[in-house]
Homo-oligomer: A and B are copies of this chain.
């Protein structure tokens, strides 16, 4: 576990270092839906898109992870937050993913989101499945044969959900 993690909002100047975190994950497959040959331009346009707030997570000035927050739906569904997380390969196993998951919930709540939803957690990605369950997320759906895993063939994807607040709701 790293004691001194800090998250800051990423800027365009972080693109190179964030791509350095994201590329190995994309090339390997098994964690996100992206094609293994997805380009830097396409990926960074996605990860830092105008619909998202993107964070860089640092340990003593070194970027060890990145995540984004966005509304999972527009309009009358924009009170549920969606997020994506990637840990640098060099920082795996040090608790960065868990730290980001906890930080993201606090940040989402402070931005007014009422719940968090992940739409596509690949079932064979056991580290992610375990992490989200341990952080109190529930599986609210399972999509059969959702992901063409580079080694395992078609595998399901899970949909995770966690309510972030018990505050009485008065939306109309």
Partner of A171, one of B142, B148, B159: B148
Q: How large is the interface on A (under 10, 10 to 19, 20 to 34, 35 or more residues)?
A: 35 or more
Helix, strand, loop or mixed for chain A's interface? Answer: strand
Q: Is A66 an interface residue (CB 8 A)?
A: no
Is the beta-carbon distance between A29 and B73 smaller than 8 angstroms?
A: no
Do A119 and B119 contact each other (CB < 8 Å), given the known contacts A73-B33, A163-B144? yes
Q: Is A79 an interface residue (CB 8 A)?
A: yes
Q: Is A141 an interface residue (CB 8 A)?
A: yes
Q: Is A132 an interface residue (CB 8 A)?
A: no
Q: Is A13 an interface residue (CB 8 A)?
A: no
Is the beta-carbon distance between A145 and B169 smaller than 8 angstroms?
A: yes
